[in-house]
A and B are shown apart, each in its own frame.
Chain A
């Protein structure tokens, strides 16, 4: 594996505000790397420094081995970019945008194929202003793929999309990676980062507070998993003592919640079900609750992500 993006002690301030404070990370070839964090965490500033749109105040940035500030012209032939705030003229049609942007690159891929692959074939004659949010983002992904880039930057790709459109875009991003391209994306949806990214950098107040795979981040949290179910009659006393490793019982009326540390030998849910059946206890509405990245963020920063 080779590092396709290298960031060392990147620093950027706007007046008195420190937007990005000495952050360092690397993106490996072929991975989907996500920067996640609340608004104002410094995600977009970082990605725009990588794109060459902003000049860092300190630190070094290398994208595909070159400095984006000095060799932006060279870089934009090899990197696809989708920006958070960008547009096309309202009356420009989908095919016209692809045809026009293809003419900017000496070796563009066939835009007619992209049109089909990104599910825009039916919309080829639709003016930009008449597209839905999801369709606009599809078009921007198509424009980003025109130079057949090694690396694709996607900044807040699914913000403002409904859940269904968001899921469709996730599939697309996976397909982009499937073509052997490296993807660097930013999002403020923890769920998106968890589902989509191979590795995640969690940013808060301009710093990276955690960087790992989603699974390791959640596991490293040492967070609890929970099994929740309802009973008609109270549980027998000492029910929790029969578990193979310690659990905590929380009963509120009919509802029972069993808490346990993550990473048990026997999955908590199967142990709960076995014990309940052995003791002939009637139960209903059983479900498990896994910790997720929202919990990780909460434990790292002491704040809710959405707050």
Chain B
């Protein structure tokens, strides 16, 4: 049964559980700020000639760190939470109630998306406050890009949670996917500074398209410049929805 009362309660409950889990709360809400301050103390935000029109290092860093948050929240909390719920029999208990699996999945989605948004808002606010970041894009445009990127990555998380046999293996695979992506996609280090071969390799990583899209939209480019990015992310999203619906198991 899919009813809004169950969904509301479940969302509120999962939000509290998310915040009570120090690791996921730290990586979503605190870690991006730490990265910002570390980079900020190394570089100033003076415009750099090589980087777009009068963009500074921090201006470019905010969308890159946003991509990092999306990568982390997409792969880690959803995957680990759902895989753990299944392994420990928490889903088994839910299965004996009338609640729909859609409520269980939707609650995860809403909570993690909200937390991701919160993490990114904190990041943008801190960037504005401490480093006077320049934002030349369109606010709705960047929100759209952020939402598409997040949902696409949550899809990957749901797939992993569905196909991995145990919580431990889900966690390991999530990390194995995440770390190379963080380093190679340009989320943590600009791709312009990478050797050509590595840069080619990165085109196989979904997070690369998030970085490209968000940096572009943040810098005021139009969606037309990023059809490839949008196509790839939308494709991953559709695959994610289809596969995760098919692979959902209570136990």
Contacts and interface: CB of A to CB of B under 8 A. Distances in A.
B10 interface: yes
Interface residues of B, number: 22
A187 to B, nearest CB: 19
B1 interface: yes
Nearest to A127: B20
Report whether over half of chain B's contact residues are helix, strand or loop; otherwise say mixed.
helix
A99 B93 contact: no
Interface stretch (B58-66, B83-91, B123-131, B234-242): B83-91
B53 interface: no
Interface stretch (A6-14, A83-91, A164-172, A260-268): A83-91
A100 B17 CA distance: 13
Contacts of A100: 9-10, 13
Contacts of A83: 89, 92-93, 96
B90 A86 contact: yes
Nearest to B89: A86
The number of chain A residues touching the other chain, given as a range, is 20 to 34
A87 B90 contact: yes
B92 A103 contact: no
Interface in B62-105: 85, 88-90, 92-93, 95-99
Nearest to B14: A89
A64 B226 CA distance: 59
A103 B13 CA distance: 12
A101 B5 CA distance: 11
B46 interface: no
A86 B9 CA distance: 21
A83 B8 CA distance: 26
Interface string A243-283: 00000000000000000000000000000000000000000
B5 A91 contact: no
Given A51-B96, A73-B1, A83-B96, A96 B16 contact: yes
A99 to B, nearest CB: 7
Nearest to A128: B90
A87 B89 contact: yes
A143 to B, nearest CB: 8
A103 B98 CA distance: 10
Interface in A85-123: 85-89, 91-92, 96, 99-101, 103-105
Given A89-B17, A92-B17, 4 more contacts: A86-B93, A87-B88, A87-B89, A89-B90
The 9 closest A-B pairs by CB, nearest first: A86-B93, A103-B9, A86-B89, A81-B96, A104-B97, A87-B88, A104-B99, A91-B20, A87-B89
Interface of A: 51, 53, 73, 76-77, 81, 83, 85-89, 91-92, 96, 99-101, 103-105, 140, 143
